[in-house]
Amino acid sequence: MRTLDTGDTLDHYRIDSTVARSGMSTLYRATFLDTGETVAIKIPHPEMEADPVLYDRFHREETIGQQMDHPGVVKVFPSEGRSRVYMAMEWIDGCLLRDLLKEHGKLPIDRATNIALQIADALDYLHKHGVVHRDLKPENVMIGANDNVKLIDFGIAMKEDAHRLTFTHLSNTLGTPDYISPEQVKGKRGDPRSDIYSLGIIFYEMLTGQVPFTGPNPFTVMNDRVLNDPTPPRQLNPEISPQLEEVLYRALERDPRHRYATAHEMLWDLTHQDQIGGAEDRATRAPVRRRSPLARRLAFYAAIVAIPFILFALMFFLAKR
């Protein structure tokens, strides 16, 4: 099917402008002719419609958007009787959180905390309804008027009552390297605590102007996340309180068992920072020691070299039995 131009009509919608194009779809601003309401129209590219897995992703995003009803989650309108595959969604006047961070570097403490609170509240709602986003990042957070937050792009979200999707690309399986949890790096599907970890990364970036784990390529970033603790955020921004730093540490625990168990727990701490225990004690400890890039590489290569020996030992043991 051909692409749409300004002024074209698609069922009950008039195309007003092209907003963005990605590798899988095109986003348009449009007008719902029945009411005059401004909406967003997302149309998958033909190759996406032809790929069963990618089409399933698109359909899952649509289903979740239609079923969820929360001010912090983008709403998708019903799709009966359409002439082609597309999604009609609420239009959000604003910008991506990524654009906000590019413009400002880091955000004031109160503003960053307000945005984190709204994301945590939206996650709490999603998790209670069986949805895990799994690709939470500044590119998937819209900031509207008065800094109102909307979570978008549920293409690789996991829903409790949905079948498991199999992806052929690493990025589709894991999310974005800078923001995925250690358990996702290790190949696990992730659960609500994985979203909490991603929120911790976003909050850290809003407060300090940088992500806690960096490297020359995605695999180095992911390896750093599995082996190391983040640089204490108060070293990067002394305006961060010990209590707020403690919230970050609890969200960014490598072991999900030690992380916030629910988004509601993180939400409670953010709104009751004066009651957070252990923050002053942790703030006075010696800075976290991080492995040097060379040490990280040696550890990574040592693990790879050890795998054949472990397998050989296991086969030898089984043969003896």
Domain ranges for the chain: 9-90, 95-290, 292-321
| pLDDT per position as a tens digit, 163-181 | 554 443 434 445 578 999 9
Question: Which residue numbers are catalytic?
Answer: 135
- The tokens 């976003």 sit on which residue? 202
Sorting pLDDT into bands at 50, 70 and 90, what band is 200?
very high
163, 125 contact by CB (below 8 A):
no
CATH of domain 95-290: 1.10.510.10
Structure confidence at residue 24 (pLDDT): 83
Please indicate whether the domains covering 9-90 and 95-290 agree at the CATH topology level.
no
204, 197 contact by CB (below 8 A):
no
Average pLDDT of span 133-147: 95
Nearest CA-CA partner of 173 in 196, 190, 197: 190
212, 230 contact by CB (below 8 A):
yes
Sorting pLDDT into bands at 50, 70 and 90, what band is 314?
very low
The model carries a pTM of 0.83
Tokens (6 digits) for 205: 């970036």
**9-90: in CATH 3.30.200.20:** yes
